[in-house]
Structure 1
Amino acid sequence: MILMKDIIREGHPTLRKVAEEVTFPISEDIKQLGLNLHEYVMNSQNPEMVEKYGLRPGIGLAAPQVNESKRVFALHIEGEGKIEASFIAINPKIVSHSVEMTYITSGEGCLSVDRDVEGFVPRYARITVKAYDVEGKEFKKRLKGLPAIAFQHELDHLNGIMFYDHIDQKAPFKEIPNAVPFVRE
């Protein structure tokens, strides 16, 4: 089980490396890594698990954040009593995206960043993605809203990019052209 002590923090060199593609067939180690990442994000949204293990809530976690430089991440997003997105993505790619942009009005956070970073992070409003699951089956999804934003955040981790790299340093709250704000309750 992944705990907060297993998540590396900003400044660690693994967070700035481009993660390696996963080779097929998918090894048991990679399969377990994906399952462990998914388990963390699910546990981190369960108040009893948060209290018992001191977890910081998160909706996504990428392999580089646990010091594994592999192209794997997991998302788990629940909203209004239903699951909006919950999957493990191996070798994920964005195959198409909207012209329209979006950003979370309250800003983004990250389990590898122990400080508040203010500012808007521009993201594509809608994306079509391809990836593989832990069984090695390819899947394609269309994402919008928070799942699309979270997918892009985690994909950035696989490319050595931190969310705050996208924030305009001189004007962090500058209006983003062609963007519809996303308000997170």
Structure 2
Amino acid sequence: MITMDDIVREGHPMLRTVTKEVPIPPTKEDQETLKEMLQFIKNSQDEELAQKYNLRPGVGLAAPQLGLDKRMLAIHVEDLKGRLYSYGLFNPRIVSHSVEGGYLSGGEGCLSVDREVPGIVPRHARVTVKAFDLEGNEVKLRLKGYPAIVIQHEIDHLNGVMFYDHINKENPFYVPENAKAVDQE
């Protein structure tokens, strides 16, 4: 079982690494790791389990956060309408995105970052992602709003990018012209 002790923290070189593609079909070991990653996120959202195992609540986890040089991520998140987006993905890539931007009004956080980093993190309001699911089947996901922000955050991890890299250094609360807060729609 993955715990908070398994999560590498800010400053770890793996968080700045562009990760390697996972061979498809995935190995049993990679499938098990990805299932565990998804279970960790689900457990972190369960108050009882989070307290029992001292987990910080999260909505996504990428393999580099476990020190793994693999293009794997898990998300488990609800949109504002309560629709659940729960995926374990191999080799996800954004194949198209909206011109319109989106961001979370309260900024973003990260299980690998143990501090508050105030500021607007500009993202795309909508993205289309191609990837392989837990069984190795190709999937195409169209995400908008909060789930789109979450998957972009996790894909960034696969490319060695941290969320605060996107924050405007001179004006952390600068909102780009074509962007709106996706958590206030």
Common topology (TM > 0.5): yes
- Structure 1 residues 172 and 75, CA, compared in 2 at 3 Å: closer, same or farther? same
Q: Verify: 1:170 aligned to 2:160, yes or no.
A: no
TM superposition score normalised by structure 1? 0.96
CA distance in 2, matches of 1:113, 1:132: 28
Note closer, same or farther for the CA distance 1:80–1:129 as it changes in structure 2 (3 Å cut): closer
Superposed, which structure 2 residues align to 1:94-113 within 5 Å? 94-113=94-113
Partner of 2:71: 71
Over the aligned positions, Cα root-mean-square deviation in angstroms equals: 1.5
Mark the CA change 1:33 to 1:104 in structure 2 (over 3 Å): closer, same or farther.
same
Q: Output the amino acid matched with 2:96.
A: S
Alignment of 1:3-14 (within 5 A): 3-14=3-14
Matched, 1:120 2:120: yes
1:79–1:48 distance in 2 versus 1, CA, 3 Å: farther
Given that 2:75 and 2:87 are in contact with CA atoms closer than 8 Å, whether structure 1 keeps it comes out as: yes
Identity %, equivalent residues: 53
Q: Note the 1:1-185 alignment, pairs <5 A.
A: 1-79=1-79, 82-183=82-183
- Seen in structure 2, the aligned counterparts of structure 1 residues 68 and 85 have a Cα distance that, compared at 3 Å, is same
Partner SS state of residue 15, structure 2: helix
Q: TM-score, normalised by structure 2?
A: 0.96
- Kindly state the Cα deviation for residue 17 of structure 1 after the two structures are TM-superposed: 0.4
CA contact (8 A) 2:79 2:145 kept: no
Whether contact under 8 Å (2:122, 2:175) holds in the other structure is no
Given that residues 84 and 147 in structure 1 are in contact (C-alpha distance below 8 angstroms), is that contact kept between their aligned partners in structure 2? no
C-alpha distance in 1 between matches for 2:127 and 2:111: 23
For structure 1, list consecutive stretches of 5 or more residues without a partner in the other structure: none
Please report how far the alpha carbon of residue 115 of structure 1 lies from its aligned counterpart in structure 2 after TM superposition: 0.1
Shift of 1:79: 5.0
Separation in 1 of the partners of 2:53 and 2:136? 31
Task: Say which SS state the counterpart of residue 77 (structure 2) adopts.
Answer: strand
- Please tell me whether the aligned partners of residues 122 and 166 of structure 1 are also in contact (alpha carbons under 8 angstroms): yes
Residue type of the partner of 1:171?
Answer: N
Runs of 4+ off more than 6 Å: none
1:89: how far off? 1.1
Matched-pair contact (CA < 8 Å) for 2:24–2:136: yes
